[in-house]
Homo-oligomer: A and B are copies of this chain.
Amino acid sequence: MRVGFIGLGEAGHIYAEATAAAGHDVTGFDPAAPTTPDGVRRLETAAEVVAASELVVVLTGASLSGRIATAEAPHLSDGAIWADFTTASPEVMREVGTVVEAAGGRFADVAVLGPVPSKGAATETMVSGSAASDVASFLRSLGADVETVDGPAGEATSRKLLRSVMMKSLATTVVEALEAGRAAGCEEWVHAQIAAQLSGDADAKIERYVAGSRKHAVRRAHEMDSVVEHLATLGVEAEMSAASGRVLRRLAGDDAA
């Protein structure tokens, strides 16, 4: 397949090189990138790359996503695919999809679910949009684990962000709890308490967390005030605990309403 890359920065470089290595015919455009990936023919303009490609992969900064689509999608061959791999928002992805389809192309937004430098083109992804299944096949040809998401353009990006609510907030909660345990001289004990929450019957725990947060919202909100005070005496930042207290206060209000 003729694949064109717009953006040959860190991630673009890795994906373009892997695409060439997988036997595809690869062109690329980047006004600034200092190096050209092995096996990639670098062209002078984005328009040339788009015109030459059956699949265009956009790997620029998120803020350029909409502007590039508006300027360059008109150069797409009929039925060619525009795949946006940037971290633009679901709303922007939907707009880019509309622009691409108005230009006669097909669109997919690709949510990359980890740091590309670690696992390269094999990094786990989610894909949605009218060209989702073709782009998923392409990514699988590079060794990636791909989940296609039904629904309009932007869905994969939305899912990635929804997943981060849990994953990143959980991760920083663990960081805060361990910092507090360390400051109090009982990090090992706190570690064991955390571990107990992260194994076992997950569904039962989720139900208990949701029901318990609602049922005991008032009492727990007060307790989180004490937690925040205690962490202050330990010299530990209590961002997650304070936010938890605010959520519990809201849940308490919800029940009163």
Q: Which A residues have a C-beta under 8 Å from some C-beta of B?
A: 62, 87, 89-91, 115, 158-159, 161-178, 180-181, 184, 186, 189-191, 193-203, 205-206, 209-210, 212-213, 215-216, 219-220, 222-224, 226-227, 229-231, 233, 237-248, 250-251
A184→B165 contact, CB < 8 A: no
Oligomeric state, in copies: 2
Task: Say how far A223's CB is from chain B's closest CB, in angstroms.
Answer: 6
Known A164-B220, A173-B173, A195-B206; 10 more pairs at CB < 8 Å: A158-B184, A161-B231, A162-B189, A162-B190, A163-B193, A165-B238, A168-B227, A169-B173, A171-B210, A199-B201
Task: Say how far A181's CB is from chain B's closest CB, in angstroms.
Answer: 6
Task: Say how far A169's CB is from chain B's closest CB, in angstroms.
Answer: 4
Task: Say how far A11's CB is from chain B's closest CB, in angstroms.
Answer: 11
Q: Which of B164, B199, B226, B238 contacts A223 (CB 8 A)?
A: B164
B243→A169 contact, CB < 8 A: yes
A195→B202 contact, CB < 8 A: yes
Q: How far is the CA of A169 from the CA of B220 in the complex (A)?
A: 10
**Nearest 5 A/B pairs, CB to CB:** A243-B243, A171-B209, A195-B202, A198-B202, A172-B247
Q: Which of B209, B224, B227, B241 contacts A175 (CB 8 A)?
A: B209
Which chain B positions have C-beta within 8 A of A216? 115
A240→B237 contact, CB < 8 A: no
